[in-house]
Chains A and B, each alone.
Chain A
Amino acid sequence: MITLVILALVGLFLMIAGLFDISRKAVFGVAMTGMVAALAGNLYMWDKVPMAYFNRMILIDNYDVAFITAVLGVSMFLFLLSENYFGKIQNYLTEHYALYMFSLVGMIAMISFNNLVMLFIGIEILSVSLYILAGSEKNNLSSNEASLKYFLMGAFATGILLMGITLIYGASGSFYLSGIEQYFTSGNELSPIAYIGMFLVLVGMSFKVSVAPFHFWTPDVYDGSPTFVTAFMSTVVKIAGFAAFFKLFYICFSSVIHYWVEVVSVLVILTVTIGAMTAITQKSVKRLLAYSSVSHAGYMLMVVLVGADADNLMFYVVAYSISSIVAFSVLMLVQEAAGNAEITSFEGLAKVNPLLGFAMTVSMLSLAGIPLTAGFMAKVYILTSVFNAGHGIVVLVAILTAMVGIYYYFKVIIAIYFKTATEERKLFTYNSSSLFKIVLFIGIIAIIVLGICPDIIHNLI
């Protein structure tokens, strides 16, 4: 709760600060300090008795603390690697920061909700912030397109979600998770609207976390948005989205798992396959990462499918987010230097700038799930639990698509190490401060350390 308040206040403070002429560094400092304070407030709640606030609208236990920590930690990591993005914003700098803070508020409400109203409002705060941020490059036509597309699709998904929530209320008479859980576990015959409500909530949430076949907005939106926003959406937002998704299904609907388990397993299979198959043909690294994020959403959905082991979800989102952010931060620099995000722009990167090349390679290996990286352990955890739950087909499909995945991730590695840069590209300078290099290096180390000793964060919740 204190986390939520701190972040909202920092957002307000930043908006007011925009009236005065303050330096970019100070704004960045305020935002970072705010996030650190929020994180501290959040960590204070660790291992305490679950706390309910405001008539149990919010209930915070270890699950929520862990995921809020992941959201805040990953955002700070991303912010530290993105000085170029904020450096380029000319107008309304503080407002941009404020939007990020408010979107974090939304995410925290989404994670720690104990009442569907809170879930809905959290999703809305987050989504509205993202619609705006996606279109924040106003001179870029594709950014405008991304924003509009995201808005229309998002509004549609919101409508479906809301209808689902309403129908569930109609059946159970409660917005509270415990009330809904009680209704579903009571053993009485369930009203048909409960099923439809469940189905619509599933569709709505799937839209929000880009699960196929509701993923079609993802590539265009991820491609059109400023790369920093893409990184934010595909990591931080995914963490919050899946934390809410899992919590909702785990608490409320796990007693009727036999009604939706087949639907979800079909969604998982579709998501991993479509994500991988469409990523093959991509020539732009940004689009490739967009499609790969769809594929990874399939893995995260597997945790919902199994309906247990939040630890696995936690590990997966952290491993995926760190790897993705390292990739996106390199992409941002390359994009700035080369002017586009094509794979050809990465050719010979290892020679021109070894650190960036190495970082990109490690993150690609991790996303592809090669051993000794965090991505491998994440996949092992999830796939064993899926296998254990008896979904052998899902495991087989996941393994087959992982093979495809290796193909496209390695296209980037091949470009980095084995192709030679054009003369023009050899002269590129990749502007990065020493802070950037240190944080990037920490990211690389984290990927490898988590790949060797996953216990560090796996057994937390």
Chain B
Amino acid sequence: MYLLQEIIFVFFTLLTLVSAVYMAITTNVIYAAFSLLLTFIGVAALYIFASAEFIGLTQIMIYIGGILILIVFGVMLTNKVGNQPIRAKSINTVSGLLLSSALFTLLMNSIMEINFSKLPWIKNGLMVSGNTTPIIGVNLMTQYLLPFEIIAVLLLVALLGASLIAGRKDN
């Protein structure tokens, strides 16, 4: 049982990493979009592994079901505009690599040093068993009510912005 868990975990981790790397280096935008799909799926699976099934499902519904589909549509519809296939290329490879590897070492180092079992919230999290969705729902409507409401403003602004950007130009 434990071994199976391990295998599944490694599988999804590799799926996430490989597809993310492929997405970053490929020059074909369609391929990139599809490998992004795999990345999202991998991440969603990892969320579920961390017993955050609500987040995992949201990830699938919103990122894959919504955003990614939009991206793919956008790429396909605009691909032929101007008869130029959309290509992506990498710039600033060296400095980018340096910066990201620095960040990577930093994060890795600290992760290695953390004694996870000591962290208070991990203990609290383990106590929650079963379905987390109702707890999230209750929390959103009680403790986090104000952020929940204020996010409405954020969404409104985003909508407004979308309509302004897409709307007609000044003469």
A and B touch in their complex, CB below 8 angstroms: yes
What residues make up the interface of A, taking CB atoms closer than 8 Å to B? 8, 11-12, 15, 53-55, 57-58, 89-92, 95, 98-99, 102-103, 105-106, 109, 115, 117-118, 121-122, 124-125, 128-129, 131-132, 135-139, 169-171, 173, 191-193, 195-196
B contact residues around A169 at 8 Å (CB): 121
A91 to B146, CA, bound (A): 33
With A54-B145, A102-B156 as known contacts, state yes or no: A139 contacts B169, CB within 8 Å: yes
Residue from A89, A118, A137, A193 in contact with B146 in the complex, judged by beta carbons closer than 8 Å:
A118
The answer to whether A98 and B160 have CB atoms under 8 Å apart is yes
7 A–B contacts, CB within 8 A, in A order: A99-B164, A106-B153, A106-B154, A122-B150, A138-B169, A138-B170, A173-B121
The answer to whether B107 and A196 have CB atoms under 8 Å apart is yes
Bitwise, B72-116 to A at CB < 8 A (1) or not (0) is 000000000000000000000000000000000011011101110
Count of interface residues, chain B, beta-carbon cutoff 8 Å? 36
Bitwise, B25-69 to A at CB < 8 A (1) or not (0) is 000000000000000000000000000000000000000000000
A315 to B61, CA, bound (A): 48
A160 to B147, CA, bound (A): 20
A contact residues around B115 at 8 Å (CB): 191
B128 to chain A, nearest CB (A): 14
What 19 additional pairs, Cβ within 8 angstroms, besides A90-B171, A103-B157? A12-B156, A15-B160, A55-B142, A55-B144, A55-B145, A57-B144, A90-B170, A92-B164, A95-B160, A102-B156, A105-B153, A106-B154, A118-B147, A129-B161, A170-B119, A170-B121, A173-B119, A192-B109, A193-B111
B contact residues around A89 at 8 Å (CB): 170
A169 to B124, CA, bound (A): 13
A53 to B167, CA, bound (A): 38
Residue from A12, A117, A122, A129 in contact with B144 in the complex, judged by beta carbons closer than 8 Å:
A117
The answer to whether A192 and B113 have CB atoms under 8 Å apart is yes
A190 to B125, CA, bound (A): 20
B contact residues around A122 at 8 Å (CB): 150
A contact residues around B164 at 8 Å (CB): 92, 95, 99, 132, 136
A326 to B119, CA, bound (A): 52
A106 to B157, CA, bound (A): 10
The answer to whether A91 and B170 have CB atoms under 8 Å apart is yes
A136 to B158, CA, bound (A): 14
B138 interface residue (CB < 8 Å to A): no
A417 to B164, CA, bound (A): 42
The answer to whether B154 and A139 have CB atoms under 8 Å apart is no
B130 interface residue (CB < 8 Å to A): no
A131 to B164, CA, bound (A): 11
The answer to whether B110 and A132 have CB atoms under 8 Å apart is no
Residue from B114, B160, B167 in contact with A91 in the complex, judged by beta carbons closer than 8 Å:
B167
A contact residues around B147 at 8 Å (CB): 57, 115, 117-118, 121
B143 interface residue (CB < 8 Å to A): yes
The answer to whether B157 and A102 have CB atoms under 8 Å apart is yes
The answer to whether B120 and A124 have CB atoms under 8 Å apart is no
A160 to B, closest residue via Cβ: B103
The answer to whether A57 and B160 have CB atoms under 8 Å apart is no
A contact residues around B146 at 8 Å (CB): 53-55, 57-58, 118
B contact residues around A129 at 8 Å (CB): 157, 161
A contact residues around B163 at 8 Å (CB): 95
The answer to whether A171 and B161 have CB atoms under 8 Å apart is no
The answer to whether A191 and B150 have CB atoms under 8 Å apart is no
| Complex A-B, nearest 6 residue pairs according to Cβ-Cβ distance, in ascending order | A132-B161, A54-B146, A192-B110, A173-B121, A57-B146, A173-B120
The answer to whether B119 and A128 have CB atoms under 8 Å apart is no
B contact residues around A98 at 8 Å (CB): 160
The answer to whether B110 and A196 have CB atoms under 8 Å apart is yes
A182 to B96, CA, bound (A): 37
A contact residues around B158 at 8 Å (CB): 128
A48 to chain B, nearest CB (A): 20
The answer to whether B156 and A109 have CB atoms under 8 Å apart is no
A contact residues around B120 at 8 Å (CB): 173
A contact residues around B107 at 8 Å (CB): 196
The answer to whether B167 and A92 have CB atoms under 8 Å apart is yes
B36 to chain A, nearest CB (A): 16
The answer to whether A91 and B168 have CB atoms under 8 Å apart is yes
B18 to chain A, nearest CB (A): 22
B contact residues around A103 at 8 Å (CB): 157
With A117-B147, A196-B107 as known contacts, state yes or no: A125 contacts B157, CB within 8 Å: yes
A265 to B141, CA, bound (A): 42
B165 interface residue (CB < 8 Å to A): yes
A contact residues around B110 at 8 Å (CB): 192-193, 195-196
B contact residues around A137 at 8 Å (CB): 170
B151 interface residue (CB < 8 Å to A): yes
B contact residues around A95 at 8 Å (CB): 160, 163-164
The answer to whether B165 and A135 have CB atoms under 8 Å apart is yes
A15 to B157, CA, bound (A): 11
The answer to whether B150 and A121 have CB atoms under 8 Å apart is yes
A contact residues around B144 at 8 Å (CB): 55, 57, 117
B contact residues around A54 at 8 Å (CB): 145-146
With A91-B168, A128-B157, A139-B169 as known contacts, state yes or no: A121 contacts B151, CB within 8 Å: yes
B contact residues around A106 at 8 Å (CB): 153-154
The answer to whether A128 and B161 have CB atoms under 8 Å apart is yes
A227 to chain B, nearest CB (A): 16
A54 to B156, CA, bound (A): 21
B58 to chain A, nearest CB (A): 16
